[in-house]
Amino acid sequence: MAVTIREVASAAGVSVSTVSRAFTSPEQVQPATRQRILDAAAKLGYAPNPAARSLRGGGTGTLGLIVPDIANPFFPPIVKAVQARARRLGYTVLVADSDEREADELETIAAVSKRVDGLILWASTLTEDKLRELAAQMPLVVVNRQVEGVAEVRISLSAGIAQAAELLRAYGHRRCVFINASRAELRRGKSIQESFEALDLSLVELGPYEPRFETGVHAATLVAAHEATAVIAHNDLVALGVLHQMANLGVSVPGDVSVIGIDDTLLASVSTPSLTTIRIDPEEIATRAGDLLIETINGRHTDGPAPCVEIGSRLIPRASTGPAPVG
């Protein structure tokens, strides 16, 4: 059915070896011959069979990306960016969804791992040992996990948090609520608590809850009880729950209460009022994680300690934050 290298070879009047070389290491074949081969290949519509190529040991040309939940609006832009980056570098991307469940994650990894040259694992629920074991078997990059000896991309919210604290402070807020649903990025480095205290802002932590819209709805009703005038939510979705309930309660945002989300998903830019949020740049994560994985595949990091790149964050001020109410 499909046209093979052999047909191209006979069409160009050369051997299969030469055709193979014309594609994989062009400098080893005479320009004239090479051109003849390329023409023949183009005319026949030849494209190398990836299965045969990877069977021979050339790798699969595919990168695996496993995320906890594709339907979480945080991930689609990242998936998209990883795909774009990978394609530029000659790779395809196999995306899978671990459904946030450990059993599924192992199954997903098993299904994917034989088809890819390396894996990006986002916020894996696996144990450190398991991850190390996996890293020994294949190139691996973890995001939002810290495990000795495994290449890592780390997201740091501290810059964004600090900017949020500054903004709230400048607006005259003194008391703030944080709706927590356990973000790994926050457990490292300076805690959000410290960032706020440094600016003489008091912070009440609620939760941990599930990172859902309803969590925001629920938590919003607690804000008044804590006499807080600002809310930082676990993510944009939760922040939208807060916005929703504030509207129900007749509380004005940002008139009475300021609300800040995290992630800068689509949700933040299209809400009413539009949501001030802490942005983590998907392009940057995608580029760094993708490049790191490809470097690992190419054996760039076999010596020395496992590399670790840190991705920063920054505040995107929008309409959900404003001056604290007077009195």
**Where do contacts with DNA occur on this chain (CB under 7 A)?**
2, 4-6, 13-18, 20-21, 23-25, 28-30, 32-34, 46-49, 52-53, 55-58
Binding at 80: pick from its own copies, DNA, none (beta carbon under 5-8 Å per type): its own copies
| Residues at the contact surface with its own copies, assessed by CB under 8 A | 47, 49-52, 54-55, 60, 62, 69-73, 75-77, 79-80, 83, 87, 92-97, 110-112, 114-115, 213, 237, 240-241, 243-244, 247, 266-267, 269-274
Amino acid symbol at 313: S
Binding at 14: pick from its own copies, DNA, none (beta carbon under 5-8 Å per type): DNA
Binding at 5: pick from DNA, its own copies, none (beta carbon under 5-8 Å per type): DNA
Q: Count of alpha carbons within 13 Å of 21, Cβ hemisphere only?
A: 13
Indicate the helix (H) or strand (E) that contains 216: helix 213-223
Contacts of 278 (CB under 8 A, 6+ apart): 157, 160, 161, 163, 164, 260, 261, 262, 263, 264, 313, 314, 315, 316
> Smallest distance from the beta carbon of 111 to its own copies, in angstroms?
6
Binding at 139: pick from DNA, its own copies, none (beta carbon under 5-8 Å per type): none
Binding at 30: pick from DNA, its own copies, none (beta carbon under 5-8 Å per type): DNA
Nearer to its own copies (CB atom), residue 138 or residue 159: 138
> Smallest distance from the beta carbon of 150 to its own copies, in angstroms?
19
Could you write out the DSSP letters of every residue in 263-306?
E--HHHHHSSSPPEEEE--HHHHHHHHHHHHHHHHTTTTSSSSP
Nearer to DNA (CB atom), residue 18 or residue 287: 18
CA distances from 86 to 47, 89, 100 (A): 19, 5, 25
Cα–Cα distance measured from residue 143 to residue 291, given in angstroms and rounded to the nearest whole number: 13
